[in-house]
Amino acid sequence: MTWLVICRDVADSGALRRRHLERHLAYIESVMDRIAVAGPLARTVDGDFAGSFFVYLTDDRADAESLLHDDPYFEAGLYREVEFHAFRAVAGAWVGGAAWR
């Protein structure tokens, strides 16, 4: 099992993102083995960022919460809303087709 975390940015988040980007990326690199996939959510293809998503490799919600809460973006107050969802990848190219077969 994994945890899908959807984070929605505060209004006008661009400056806050830029200010903490280097620390955020260093943190992501330090926990890379705990992340299946992650990235920014954008309103446009040019990067009008609206939030972030993470798929954490853990069965434990408290562990997923800890991974997010230690992120410099979270610590800086970048996210106005955060959702945690238990998530099981069962279909698609990333999981090699259909997991039920």
Q: What are phi and psi of 66, to 5 degrees?
A: -65, -45
Determine the Cα–Cα distance for residues 8 and 68; give it in Å rounded to an integer: 13
Residue 35 is predicted with a pLDDT of 98
* pLDDT tens figures, 65-96: 999 999 999 999 999 999 999 999 999 998 89
Domains of the chain, by residue range, sit at 2-98
Q: How confident is the model at residue 25 (pLDDT cuts 50, 70, 90)?
A: very high
Burial of 5 (0-12, 13-18, 19+ CB in 10 A): buried
Average pLDDT (17-27) is 98
| Residue bearing tokens 């926990």 | 31
**Is pLDDT at 47 greater than 90 in this prediction?**
no
- CATH superfamily label, 2-98: Dimeric alpha+beta barrel (3.30.70.1060)
Q: What percent of the chain has pLDDT over 70?
A: 100
Residue 92 is predicted with a pLDDT of 95
Q: Look at 22-26, 46-50, 81-85 and tell me which has the smallest mean pLDDT.
A: 46-50
| pTM for the whole structure | 0.92
How does the average pLDDT of the chain come out, rounded? 96
